[in-house]
Amino acid sequence: MRKLEEVLRDWEAVIGLEIHAELTTLRTKMFCGCKLEYGAPPNTHTCPVCLGLPGALPVPNKAAIESIVLAGLATNCDIERRSMFYRKNYMYPDMAKNFQTTQGPVAFCMRGHLDLAVDGPAARERVDMAGLSEGEARGNLVRTADGYTAHVGITRIHMEEDAGKMVHVGGGEGRIAGATHSLVDYNRAGTPLIELVTEPDLRTPEEARLFMQKLRQIYLALRISDCSMEEGSLRCDGNVSLRRRGEAAFGVKTELKNMNSFKNLHDGLAYEICRQAEVLEEGGRVFQETRHWDPTSKRTIVMRTKETADDYRLFPEPDLAPYDLSEEFIERVRAKLPELPDARAARIGRDFGLSSYDARHLLDNAEVASFFEACMDEAAAEAGELAKPVANLLINDVTAYLNAHAGEALADLPLTPARIVELTRLVAEDAISSKQGKEVFAAVVAEDKDPAAVVEERGMRQVSDTGAIEAVVDAVLAANPDKVEQYRGGKTGLIGFFVGQCMKETHGQGNPKVINELLAKKLG
């Protein structure tokens, strides 16, 4: 198979996402008062409604409706005042009623969009960006200084309920294949679920990943879901098809399941794009089918083929009254809208003089962004000066640490705004080098000590005393007259050699800035 980069030169991928989010921050289920709790013993949070007992009737959770309206407002959707619940009929053992209560043609939220900022190497996957100058638009994208922004349409967000959980027994690794029987737990059945469906506006796996990430940040900011991909409270399916560059007609799409992390979403889509390209390039046909991404073998596998469209016998749910949301209801929800990640990034950038790139990436993790703001409070008068180094430390070191230690949260680390400010101040004041700064950061995290204490303990104080350093510089120059000659003859690259020698003589504690200045003076 060819590489994604190459494939995307000849083919345009057309990607749409269906993103399910459980409203885990609510207390109770969608249609009954059973407690929402992940990981409880099986079938301990059930009642006649969510067990689908004969005679039970649903009553919708008002807080869930407020949550979906909030989600719609935050994603630029039109809020439909009039909508209904429908029954989607199909039999499956984890669905107690054997129909899923969901919405019909009109959902609570319709016609929204999100704008994605894409930069860095990922931006280059979008080959149709080539040739555009900054500010110029083509299709759904606008060229920016460091990449582009893509306008991604949201078809709808509808309200529905989650199914129970099944464990397959008797086969290998809990798989359906080979299982002799299955165990059903209805604790999750009836969990409020909102499903967002995008327009087929995404063109690269990276855009899909960024969309998912951005939506997650928004939902987290709204506090409507814990958005845990590991626990399945945020789930994503993708639809992918290819068409030759320049063609308008869509190709046959496949549906991709089990992309339960950002990496799997990206890699699954990338694989599927390359697979389809290979099939088409060999003169084959892509079949409309559902495929399962297997991260272990790094392949997508056919789950089932869809020769005909599924017929779910959808009809309006007679047990639930229709909705006619008042303007007042919607405005009351709107008043609960918090500052959203885009607005927050813009404000942080503006307030602290950060680049839009830095501000955006601070917002990749809302916790990190909040921490940044706390650091700025701590820095007080020095905030303007320390903003950039603190942002860098958070975007690079802290994020790298968190990425490498899945499951740990920033709040669990022995990092405080005071410590971060102290550390960046040490570097900014040349008390330690930036390389030493990284060492101190690691020590602070590992040993739960203040940065100054680490510096003291390890004798790391950077030597910035010009007199002491001058003696070293002189000695180094005296010991290497041939190199001094070559340098003066034009081999200015040798400056690195002299700096290195000086650092060696100062046991790494000489301030490189001072060394550089003195060398320049004495060699110049």
Partner 1 sequence: MAQHLTERDVRGIAEYARIGLDADEVAQMTADLNAIIDSLKPITEYDLAGVEPTFHPIGGLSNVMREDVEEPGFAQEVALGNAPKQQDGCFLVPSILGEGGDR
Partner 2 sequence: MGAASERAFPAMGAREIRAGLAAREFSAREIAEASLSRVRALDGATHAYLETTERLALDQAERIDAAVAAGELAACGPLAGVPVAFKDNMNLAGTHTTCSSRMLAGYVSPYTATCVARTIEAGGIPLGKLNMDEFAFGSSTETSAFGPSKNPWDLERVPGGSSGGSAAAVAAGLATVALGSDTGGSIRQPGSFCGTVAVKPTYGVVSRYGVVAFGSSLDQVGPFARSVADAALACNAIASRDALDCTSQDVGVDFTANLAEGVRGMRIGVVPAFMDAQGLTSEVKAKVVEAAEHLRALGAEIVEVDLPNAQAAMSAYYVLGPCEAFSNLARFDSVRYGYRDLGHADLGSQYEASRAKGFGPEARRRIMLGSYLLSAGVYETYYYPAQQVRTLITQDYARAYELVDCILAPVSPRTAFRFGEVSDPTDMYLSDMFTISINIAGNGGMSMPVGLGSNTGLPVGVQLVSPQFKDENMLRVAAALETVYGSAPVAPGFAPDAGEPLGRPAALPDAAQAVAGVDLPGLVGADGKAGE
The number of residues that bind partner 1 (CB under 8 A) is: 57
Find the shortest distance in angstroms from Cβ 288 to partner 2.
17
Find the shortest distance in angstroms from Cβ 323 to partner 1.
6
The entry of partner 2, partner 1, none that residue 56 binds, CB within 5 to 8 Å by partner kind: partner 2
Choose the stretch contacting partner 1; rule: CB under 8 A; options: 324-332, 358-366, 388-396, 511-519: 324-332
34: which DSSP letter? P
User: Closest CB to partner 1 among 324 and 331?
Assistant: 324
User: Closest CB to partner 1 among 87 and 266?
Assistant: 87
Q: Segment 35-64, which members bind partner 1 (CB under 8 A)?
A: 35, 41-47, 51, 59-64
* Cβ-proximal residues to 293 (8 Å cutoff; 6+ apart), any chain: 256, 257, 258, 259, 264, 267, 268, 271, 272, 299, 300
Find the shortest distance in angstroms from Cβ 49 to partner 2.
9
Handedness of CA 93, 159, 57, 40 (dihedral sign): positive
The number of residues that bind partner 2 (CB under 8 A) is: 33
Q: Is 268 in the site for partner 1 (CB under 8 A)?
A: no
Q: Is 309 in the site for partner 1 (CB under 8 A)?
A: no
Q: Is 186 in the site for partner 1 (CB under 8 A)?
A: yes
The entry of partner 1, partner 2, none that residue 170 binds, CB within 5 to 8 Å by partner kind: partner 1
Helical (H) or strand (E) element with 300: strand 299-305
Binding partner 2 (rule: CB under 8 A), the pick from 20, 51, 346, 499 is: 51
Q: Is 91 in the site for partner 2 (CB under 8 A)?
A: yes
Residue 96: closest CA among 28, 1, 163: 163
User: Closest CB to partner 1 among 192 and 512?
Assistant: 192
Q: Is 320 in the site for partner 2 (CB under 8 A)?
A: yes
Helical (H) or strand (E) element with 114: strand 109-119
User: Closest CB to partner 2 among 91 and 381?
Assistant: 91
List the strands of the sheet with 99-103, edge to edge.
99-103, 85-89, 315-316
User: Closest CB to partner 1 among 42 and 417?
Assistant: 42
Q: What angle do CA 264, 268, 269 make, to 5 degrees?
A: 120
* Cβ-proximal residues to 424 (8 Å cutoff; 6+ apart), any chain: 386, 389, 390, 393, 437
Residue 148's DSSP bridge partners are 118, 143
Binding mask 185-224 for partner 2 (x = CB under 8 A): -x--------------------------------------
Q: 306-314 long-range CB contacts below 8 Å, 24 or more apart? A: 306/255, 310/90, 312/88, 312/89, 312/90, 313/87, 313/88, 313/89, 314/86, 314/87, 314/88, 314/89, 314/104
Residue 203: closest CA among 18, 19, 17: 17
Find the shortest distance in angstroms from Cβ 214 to partner 1.
26
User: Closest CB to partner 2 among 320 and 484?
Assistant: 320
Helix (H, G, I), strand (E, B) or coil at 257: strand
CA dist 120 and 168 (Å) reads: 43
* Cβ-proximal residues to 418 (8 Å cutoff; 6+ apart), any chain: 378
Residue 252 gets the label, from left (phi > 0), alpha (psi -120 to 50) or beta, of beta
Residues that bind partner 1 (CB under 8 A): 26-28, 32-35, 41-47, 51, 59-65, 84, 90-93, 163, 166-168, 170, 176-177, 179-186, 257, 304, 310-312, 316, 318, 320-326, 329
Chain positions contacting partner 2, by CB under 8 A: 47-48, 51-60, 87, 89, 91, 93, 96-99, 180, 182, 184, 186, 309, 311, 313-315, 318-321
